Amino acid sequence: MKLNKIIIGLLAVAIMGSCSKIADKFDSNLNNPNTPDPSAANSDLYLNVVQLSFAGLFNTASSFGMEVTRQIVMYGPTYQNAYTPTSFDGVWDNGYTSVLKHANALIPIADAQKKYVVVGMTKIMKAYTMMTLVDMFGDIPYTEANLGSENTNPGVESGKDVYAKAIALLDEAIADLAKTPSSYPGVTDLFYGAANATGAKKWVTLAKTLKLRAYVTTRLVDASAKTKIDALLTENDLIDTPAEDFEFKYSTKQTNPNSRHPRYNGNYSSTGSSGDYMGTYFMWTMVREKAAFSNNAANDKSDPRTRYYFYRQRIGYGDVNEASSSCSVAPPPAHYTPGMPFCLITSGFWGRDHGDNTGIPPDGSFRTTVGIYPCGGDFDANQGASVGLNRGGQGAGIQPIWQTAFTEFVKAEANLTLTTAGNARTSLQNAVTASFAKVIGFPATIGVTPNPTYVPSSARQTQYITDLLTAYDAATTTDEKMTIIGKEYYIALWGNGVDAYNLYRRTGKPSNMQLPIVSAPGAFTSSMYYPSVYVNRNQNAAQKSGVDVHVFWDTNPPGFNK
């Protein structure tokens, strides 16, 4: 009997053993034969997807920022109705399932291969992504996010904590970039092409500049902001030359694959009809507010960047009628203060007012569209012709994620508001000078020679800066000075709605923004609604009570922004 039991037991063990062997044998059949396993990934190819989706994330986040800050149109009509939660599904999806997921997968692989520059680059892009998501939404999932099946309902974490972790990540990146790597990324670095130690240094400079940016952004809630900023200023390893500017560069390739600037794609179409409406206020502030624009270059006193920023399809208002521009036959809204821009501005600048949700008229071939900077469109030399395929810079635009001018602007702001080292006036002067050089020098970098008649003379540029500094010197209070710095920073930020939106919430500048055209637009969008994909698919998610919820670094009172 005993023997029988042992035999049965042994048999049972043998059968079970063989079963598990069978399972092992068939287990590989569960792998899809058409696609490899993630363990086969190549770190360079991961780095490519992180960079491309990072550029995409910036572009999307920037578009929302440009809309609420009147650089391009927000249809509205009220702030609550301007966007639905689904508007943000794309940026959320791109952030988590593309940038963060692949960054998380890439960092350990690159680390094991001692590709420390790749590790540093990835951590910097990851940190920027985290901060951008906080800037848009406030509290977001981070620690519980990107865990796959381990947590299908990630909970949120305070924006403050995520920011702290992002800054810690920037410090880690600086440490990683200080190590000697097994190889440099070279052409696989789409931003700086870091092929050697000198190239890799630019990423260190970027990381430190992004820390400066973060400290200025959070200065209202950080008592130690002055100390931290002063430390960075003393070290002085910040983006202060055009070669260090952090920009994603698009090419002129139209198809297979379309590698042009997304905003060029949407505006320079074969149908001769542009897609985006420029914000009436933004154009007005450049061509009317300080000095008037003129089609005659000799008399043109407007902002020297105007013809680079915008391309007018018509240089006059001959095509304006009640069908193509219904606001042209309407009086300005009763709640507009005298002098506030409304509808038509001058010389064919044809935009759309803030919060105008009326039907789109047949004005696609007439309205003003993006110019050569930064989208790679056409330089406005009074052509007065409708847009078309392959015009101007053919889409070889840039995403101006961080530039020398921005560093100088935040230094000016920090000096003015926190009395950090430096001189706000000098920084303002440097900033505007750097912005002019960047914008006016831009066509040459993409092989375009603008009509010299309309290229602003250096005398005109100097005059602009002289007038600006005269106004600055005449300003007596910190707020008045900040109004001037904020307006100039806002203008220089064309194409970077992320920082324009942060600037407006943090400082309330520009202070004379055009009001939405409805008299009761509701509270300003101090943060975006949570995306529908998050609220409707995550048990731990709850939609915010309204768009007036402030992000953690924005301690300004309700009604601060209009």
Partner 1 sequence: MVYLITLNYLKLRAGYATSANFGSPYNTRNVLNISTNVFVDRVGTVINSNTISDRLANPNLQPELLKEFEVGVEGKFINNRLNLDITYYNRVSKDQILDRDLDPSTGFSVTSINAGSVRNSGIELALGYTVIRNKDWNWQLDGNFTRNRNLVFDLPTDIKQIGIAGFSNEGLFVIEGQPLGVIQGTSTQKDPKTGQRIVNSNGDYISSTGISIIGDPNPDYKMTGISTLSWKQFSFRFQVDFTKGGDMLAYTPGTLIGRGLTKDTEFDRYLPLILPGVKEDGTPNDIQISASQAYFNDYSGFFGMADLITYDATVVRLREASLSYNLPATLLAKTPFGSASFTISGQNLWYNAPYFPKHVNFDPEVNSLGVSNGRGYETLAGPTSRRIGASIRITF
Chain positions 246 to 265 lying near partner 1, rule: CB under 8 A, are 249-253, 256-257, 259
443-462: contacts with partner 1 (CB under 8 A): 446
Closer by beta carbon to partner 1, 56 or else 341: 56
Q: How many CA atoms lie within 13 A of 262 on its CB side?
A: 14
Tell which one of 346, 546, 548, 562 touches partner 1 (CB under 8 A): 546
Of the two residues 29 and 299, which places its CB atom closer to partner 1 in the complex? 29
**Both tokens of residue 55?**
């550029």
Which residue, among 496, 487, 267, 308, has the nearest Cα to 398 in the 3D structure? 496
Q: Which of 231, 522, 550, 562: binder of partner 1 (CB under 8 A)?
A: 522
CB of 84 to partner 1, least distance (A): 6
Taking alpha carbons only, the member of 461, 512, 456, 459 closest to residue 484 is 512
Binding region for partner 1 (CB under 8 A) out of 166-174, 204-212, 471-479, 525-533: 525-533
Give 81 or 295: the residue with its C-beta nearer to partner 1: 81
Residue 20 as a binder of partner 1 (CB under 8 A): the answer is no
CA angle 175, 177, 180 (to 5 degrees): 105
Chosen residue from 145, 206, 455, 491 binding partner 1 by CB under 8 A: 145
Question: Could you say which of 59, 71, 98, 525 contacts partner 1 (CB under 8 A)?
Answer: 98
- The stretch near partner 1 (CB under 8 A) out of 15-23, 31-39, 326-334, 422-430 is 31-39
| Interaction between residue 23 and partner 1 (CB under 8 A) | no
Per CB under 8 A, the list member of 308, 529, 552, 553 interacting with partner 1 is: 529
Evaluate whether 32 touches 38 at the Cβ level (below 8 Å).
no
* Torsion of the alpha carbons at 487, 489, 490 and 494, rounded to the nearest 10: 140
Q: Verify binding: residue 102, partner 1, rule CB under 8 A.
A: yes
Interface mask toward partner 1 for 173-192; x: CB under 8 A: --------------x--x--
Q: Site for partner 1 (CB under 8 A): which residue of 3, 23, 26, 148?
A: 148
Strands 369-370 and 398-402 come out as unpaired
Q: How far is the CB of 126 from partner 1 (least distance, A)?
A: 13
Q: Is 469 strand, coil or helix?
A: helix
In the region spanning residues 452 to 511, those forming contacts with partner 1, defined by CB under 8 A, are: none
Concatenated DSSP letters for 326-359?
A: GGGGSPPPTTSPTT---S--STT---B-TT--SP
Q: Give every CB contact of residue 536 below 8 A, 6+ residues apart in sequence.
A: none
Q: Provide the CA 373 distance to its chain's centre, in angstroms.
A: 15
Judged by CB under 8 A, the residue of 15, 480, 537, 555 near partner 1 is: 537
Size of the site for partner 1 (CB under 8 A): 77
Per CB under 8 A, the segment of 100-108, 159-167, 214-222, 320-328 that binds partner 1 is: 100-108
DSSP 8-state class, residue 100: I
Show contacts with partner 1 in window 325-384 (CB under 8 A).
357, 359
Q: Which stretch binds partner 1 (CB under 8 A): 101-109, 463-471, 478-486, 506-514?
A: 101-109
Q: How far is the CB of 470 from partner 1 (least distance, A)?
A: 40
Query: What is the Cα–Cα distance from 477 to 482, expressed in whole angstroms?
Result: 9
By CB under 8 A, is residue 234 in contact with partner 1?
A: no
* Binding residues for partner 1 restricted to 75-94, rule: CB under 8 A: 77-78, 80-81, 84-86, 89, 92-93
Selected range binding partner 1 among 138-146, 160-168, 323-331, 467-475, rule: CB under 8 A: 138-146
Q: Give 140's strand partners.
A: 157
Strand partners for 400: 247
Query: H helices within 179-321, ranges in order?
Result: 197-217, 225-235, 262-267, 280-287, 306-309
Instruction: Output the CA angle 381-386-392, nearest 5 degrees.
Output: 50
As a whole number of angstroms, the distance between CA 234 and CA 224 comes to: 16
Residues 40-79 that bind partner 1 (CB under 8 A): 40-42, 45-46, 48-49, 52, 77-78
Smallest gap from Cβ 329 to partner 1, in A, equals 16
- Measured over the CA atoms of residue 271, residue 277, residue 283 and residue 284, the dihedral's sign is positive
Q: Which one of residues 10, 19, 147, 329 is an interface residue with partner 1 (CB under 8 A)? A: 147
390 touches partner 1 by CB under 8 A:
no
CB of 200 to partner 1, least distance (A): 19
CA count, 13 A, side-chain hemisphere, 362: 5
Residue with tokens 């070279």: 186
